[in-house]
């Protein structure tokens, strides 16, 4: 509908457009200020990075199929695991849920027409492309072999690789996530629809508020750190390199001051998604709304006080270690609050096992294991044995993949009808959700045992007695790979052949379901007024439950 | 609000109101929070640098004092003054925008830009001075001075801790434009008065044949070099922020000249002002940390 028809025909009968049909030229996408289109562009770019990171992961698992370092040289292997980490963390995990689902849903969920600063939102996408492009350029020139943490003096003295370019790429990319976080905070503060009070916001929004705080407070520090590292590489002045008077521990402090909170950037949005999914598929108001909301904020705050637990064995004083060890245990409290509240929400709920719910249940199990093994690593005594072993690798994959990636997939399925206006195939969805769960556990559970037996991370070769478990792990990775490729296929397929989605296929009271699927460019035809509490699944929130029952009966008949 | 949903034309009620907002109040609040959040991230950005400064200064106070004494407190002080005055003119710009006074707005913006440019000019003078004296911490970026045997200084043979501060400055040959540092008198001073830190006791000295600790001018030079590295990164990033600020001012000048800002709508002026004041405040911290700390050692000689 354009302005002309609006004048001549009035607003009632004119055919409705949506954000996808509002302009089809390349420029209408690249110059858009619509948060939904920007989210879709993020989805495509982030998926590309995920695929590249996945290929590196496949290389790692294939190399570790045999004890000898035979498939790739050890020097190449160093580059493979480094680049797997860099692509997955900076270009997939950190932007995954915030920049895609957050961007798309946050304004819809609070009843706004757009994010508060749409131009900044588009700029952040361009910055992401610029940083990603520079990093890819560096990888094609020869890549880096320092590990994703860029520890000095690996990254200053011993590495002949393209540390400077990758550092600059990450520096630039950091500002993308800063601007996204800034935009979210402003939007949540000022753009809520009438009646959408702070404690009526979906928990997804609370989780993104906490994430945004971390993005704004943490990312600039790592930006300046990698900038200093890049300048040090270029000028050979010692700031982190001990051989010319620098301080390598300072690098670790500055790096982890961001990179530990960044771990929470990589899990908090996932927790937000899970709160939505658990509540919706139990058809029940979430248990302990305020506790879940504030536990997100608590995780963001405590997250800034525990970075030293990455440095227990690398030259930090033992007293600092004890403090960090204690504070690390404290973070377990808000995480546990979330777990217990989700479980309590399930209790006596009317649970249905749709695809997103399978992911949500999977998340709860996997995050539980990931979280509990974190306690092992957080205690100073045990960690001396476990540092830099596969136990650590398994732990953070349980949190990052078992947590964030699973939540991301669950979220993508759950909101797919809203984003695209199409339903995906429920059958293939369930199959792939189960494959991902089984494949993931088969890949990473053996690694806990491997790590406990002393297999160090970041080596291309290992003793022969560890081969059986490594074969399990590689086999699991293949299953996981298939499970991850499947959604790419059936989701793309659904874009054209999928059943048209209703406006509210899940009968959820949230604002994002009260507009059309897909939503119009301005999100809502009429400014919504919120009169119900969050997760109110009854009639009082204005849902047409009777109508839904009639429709269901009609489909079954 | 029947034609609310599609065309921007029907949504604009007030000049400067963007489509995603309901009214000017909401827009102003959003922009303001956004700017403050941006400044918060800027604080952390510079905070990383201040942390690095703090760590190295507490490890090597003498090297930092020595480096600090080679910065010109006159130029630094002048620049502090220039920036404070520019903050005043910036604040007055906002004031005159609120008073609907277009010509005074323009004058104040021009003044702010003048002081900003003056600051950068002084910075250029200082950087040139460092270039001429071999104080840029990167090899090859300093002025290359040929090794002229006849003009060779005599002060060079003396031990580095006996450099005469009152003697006229000598140009040391520097054929490859390297970082140069010949004065380690502060190490001697600290050693005599016994206030070297643990890091300094290993960081400035080598063991000679007898096993006694001896001041190593090269090791000391490397520590002073860290000071100048931090000096250039910190003031360089600050100057970069000034350049961005000048760009903002240029845009502000053009829009103010065309009369965009009134007592009803002056948000862009206020926001640019916030940024400008922030950059000033960073300098207020940089100046004492880089120029003033350790100056009392000059009087000790």
Residue in the block written with tokens 């709860």: A364
- Residues of B within 8 A of A191 (CB-CB) are 20, 26, 30
- Tell me if A396 sits within 8 A of A259, measured CB to CB: no
The answer to whether residue B28 neighbours chain A at the CB level (below 8 Å) is: no
Res B76 pLDDT > 80: yes
Domain that holds residue A142: 34-556
- Residues of A within 8 A of B30 (CB-CB) are 116-117, 186-187, 189-191
pLDDT of residue A246: 86
Average pLDDT over all residues of chain B: 86
Residue B211, number of CB atoms within 10 A of its CB: 6
Alpha-carbon B131 to chain mean position: 17
What is d(CA B92, CA B194) in angstroms, rounded to the nearest whole number? 52
Q: What is the mean pLDDT of residues A94-113?
A: 95
Whether A11 is in a domain gets the answer no
Average pLDDT over all residues of chain A: 91
What is d(CA B165, CA B184) in angstroms, rounded to the nearest whole number? 11
Whether A514 is in a domain gets the answer yes
Q: In this predicted model, what pLDDT tens digit does every residue of B109-159 receive, in sequence order?
A: 999 999 999 999 999 999 999 998 889 988 888 888 887 665 555 545 677
Q: According to the 3-state scheme, what is the secondary structure of B57-75?
A: HHHCHHHHHHHHHCCCHHH
pLDDT bracket for residue A117 (50, 70, 90): very high
Nearest CA among B95, B99, B98, B117 for reference residue B108? B95
Where b means 16+ CB within 10 Å and e means fewer, A501-510 reads bbebbbbbbb
Res B255 pLDDT > 90: yes
Whether A6 is in a domain gets the answer no
Whether B16 is in a domain gets the answer no
Whether B25 is in a domain gets the answer no
How many inter-chain contacts (A to B, CB under 8 Å) are there? Answer: 142
Nearest CA among A276, A100, A298, A266 for reference residue A201? A276
Q: Work out the minimum CA distance from A183 to partner chain B, whole angstroms.
A: 7
pLDDT of residue A238: 82
pLDDT: which is higher, A169 or B16? A169
Whether A16 is in a domain gets the answer no
- Tell me if A294 sits within 8 A of A207, measured CB to CB: no
Q: In this predicted model, what pLDDT tens digit does every residue of B232-246 receive, in sequence order?
A: 999 999 999 999 999
pLDDT of residue B7: 45
Domain that holds residue B112: 32-300
Q: In this predicted model, what pLDDT tens digit does every residue of A136-176 receive, in sequence order?
A: 999 998 889 899 999 988 888 777 778 889 999 999 999 99
Kindly report the CATH number assigned to the domain that includes residue B108: 1.20.120.80
Whether A296 is in a domain gets the answer yes
The answer to which of A120-124, A248-252, A549-553 has the lowest mean pLDDT is: A549-553
Whether A7 is in a domain gets the answer no
Kindly report the CATH number assigned to the domain that includes residue A385: 1.20.210.10
Query: What is the total count of domains within chain A?
Result: 1
Handedness of CA A377, A382, A388, A393 (dihedral sign): negative
What is d(CA B109, CA B105) in angstroms, rounded to the nearest whole number? 6
**Tokens (6 digits) for A342:** 């989700």
Nearest CA among A256, A367, A259, A368 for reference residue A312? A256
pLDDT of residue A344: 96
Q: In this predicted model, what pLDDT tens digit does every residue of B197-208 receive, in sequence order?
A: 888 888 888 888
Q: What is the mean pLDDT of residues A210-226?
A: 94
Longest distance between any two alpha carbons in chain B, whole Å: 94
The answer to whether residue A250 neighbours chain B at the CB level (below 8 Å) is: yes
Q: What are phi and psi of A499, to 5 degrees?
A: -65, 140
**Tokens (6 digits) for A335:** 């995480």
Whether A322 is in a domain gets the answer yes
Q: In this predicted model, what pLDDT tens digit does every residue of A21-37 receive, in sequence order?
A: 888 899 999 999 999 99
CA angle A240, A246, A250 (to 5 degrees): 50
Nearest CA among A98, A119, A324 for reference residue A212? A98
Whether B1 is in a domain gets the answer no
Whether A310 is in a domain gets the answer yes
Query: What is the total count of domains within chain B?
Result: 1
pLDDT of residue A9: 41
The residue of chain A nearest to residue B19, with distances taken between CA atoms, is: A113
**Tokens (6 digits) for A539:** 């009639």
Task: Report the interhelical angle of A203-235 vs B217-257 (nearest 10°).
Answer: 130
Q: Work out the minimum CA distance from A78 to partner chain B, whole angstroms.
A: 29
The structure's pTM equals 0.92
């Amino acid at each position: 509908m354009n302005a002309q028809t609006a004048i001549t025909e009035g607003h009632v009968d004119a055919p409705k457009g949506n954000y996808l049909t509002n302009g089809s030229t390349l420029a209408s996408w690249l110059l858009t200020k619509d948060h939904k289109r920007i989210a879709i562009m993020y989805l495509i770019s982030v998926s590309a990075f995920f695929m590249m990171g996945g290929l590196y992961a496949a290389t790692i698992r294939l190399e570790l199929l045999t004890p000898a370092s035979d498939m790739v040289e050890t020097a190449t292997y160093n580059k493979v695991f480094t680049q797997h980490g860099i692509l997955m963390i900076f270009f997939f995990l950190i932007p995954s849920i915030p920049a895609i689902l957050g961007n798309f849903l946050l304004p819809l969920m609070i009843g706004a027409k757009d994010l508060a600063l749409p131009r900044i939102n588009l700029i952040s996408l361009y910055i992401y492309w610029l940083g990603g492009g520079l990093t890819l350029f560096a990888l094609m020139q020869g890549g880096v072999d320092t590990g994703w943490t860029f520890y000095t003096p690996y990254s200053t003295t011993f590495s002949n690789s393209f540390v400077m370019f990758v550092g600059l790429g990450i520096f630039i990319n950091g500002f993308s996530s800063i601007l996204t976080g800034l935009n979210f905070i402003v939007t949540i503060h000022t753009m809520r629809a009438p009646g959408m009070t702070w404690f009526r916001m979906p928990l997804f929004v609370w989780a993104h508020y906490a994430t945004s705080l971390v993005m704004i407070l943490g990312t600039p520090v790592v930006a300046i750190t990698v900038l200093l590292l890049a300048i040090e590489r270029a000028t050979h002045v010692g700031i982190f390199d001990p051989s010319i008077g620098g301080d390598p521990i300072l690098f670790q402090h500055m790096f982890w001051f961001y990179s530990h909170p960044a771990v929470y950037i990589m899990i908090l949005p996932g927790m937000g998604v899970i709160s939505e999914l658990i509540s919706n598929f139990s058809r029940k108001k979430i248990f302990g709304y305020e506790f879940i909301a504030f536990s997100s904020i608590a995780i963001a705050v405590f997250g800034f006080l525990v970075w030293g637990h990455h440095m227990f064995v690398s030259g930090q004083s033992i007293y600092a270690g004890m403090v960090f060890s204690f504070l690390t245990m404290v973070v377990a409290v808000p995480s546990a609050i979330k777990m217990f509240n989700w479980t309590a929400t399930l209790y006596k709920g009317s649970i249905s096992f749709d695809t997103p719910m399978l992911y949500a249940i999977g998340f709860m199990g996997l995050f539980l294991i990931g979280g509990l093994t974190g306690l092992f690593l957080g205690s100073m005594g045990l960690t001396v044995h476990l540092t830099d072993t596969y136990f650590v690798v398994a732990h953070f994959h349980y949190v990052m993949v078992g947590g964030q990636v699973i939540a991301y997939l669950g979220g993508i399925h759950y909101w797919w009808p809203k984003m695209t206006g199409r339903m995906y195939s429920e059958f293939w969805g369930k199959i792939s959700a189960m494959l991902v769960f089984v494949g993931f556990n088969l890949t990473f559970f053996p690694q806990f045992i491997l790590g406990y037996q002393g297999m160090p991370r970041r080596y291309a070769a290992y003793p022969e007695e560890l081969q059986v478990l490594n074969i399990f792990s590689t086999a699991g990775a293949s299953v996981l790979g298939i499970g991850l490729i499947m959604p790419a296929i059936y989701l793309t397929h659904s874009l054209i052949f999928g059943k048209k989605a209703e406006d509210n296929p899940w009968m959820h009271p949230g604002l994002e379901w009260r507009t059309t699927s897909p939503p119009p460019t301005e999100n809502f035809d009429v400014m919504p007024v919120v009169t119900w509490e969050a997760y109110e699944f009854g009639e009082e929130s204005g849902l047409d439950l009777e109508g839904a029952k009639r429709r269901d009966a009609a489909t079954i008949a | 609000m029947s034609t609310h949903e599609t065309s921007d034309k029907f949504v604009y009620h007030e000049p400067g109101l963007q489509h995603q907002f309901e009214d000017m109040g909401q827009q102003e609040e959003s922009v303001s929070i956004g700017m403050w959040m941006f400044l918060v991230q800027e604080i952390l950005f510079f905070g990383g640098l201040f942390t690095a400064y703090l760590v190295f200064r507490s490890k090597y106070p003498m090297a930092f004092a020595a480096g600090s004494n080679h910065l010109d407190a006159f130029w630094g002080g002048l620049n502090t003054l220039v920036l404070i005055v520019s903050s005043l003119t910036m604040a007055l710009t906002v004031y005159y925008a609120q008073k609907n006074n277009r010509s005074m707005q323009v004058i104040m913006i021009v003044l702010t830009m003048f002081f900003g440019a003056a600051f950068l000019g002084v910075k250029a003078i200082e950087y040139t001075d460092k270039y001429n004296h071999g104080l840029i911490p990167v090899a090859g970026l300093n002025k290359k001075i040929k090794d002229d045997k006849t003009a060779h200084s005599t002060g060079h043979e003396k031990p580095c801790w006996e450099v005469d501060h009152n003697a006229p400055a000598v140009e040391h040959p520097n054929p490859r434009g390297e970082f140069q540092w010949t004065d380690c008198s502060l190490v001697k001073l600290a050693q005599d008065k016994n206030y070297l830190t643990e890091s300094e006791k290993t960081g400035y000295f080598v063991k000679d044949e007898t096993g006694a600790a001896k001041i190593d001018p090269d090791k000391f030079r490397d520590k002073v070099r860290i000071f100048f590295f931090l000096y250039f990164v910190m003031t360089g990033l600050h100057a970069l922020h000034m350049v961005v600020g000048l760009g903002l001012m240029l845009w502000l000048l053009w829009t103010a000249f065309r009369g965009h800002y009134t007592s009803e709508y002056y948000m862009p002026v206020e926001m640019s002002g916030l940024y400008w004041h922030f950059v000033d405040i960073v300098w207020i911290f940089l100046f004492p940390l880089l120029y003033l700390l350790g100056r009392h050692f000059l009087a000790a000689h």
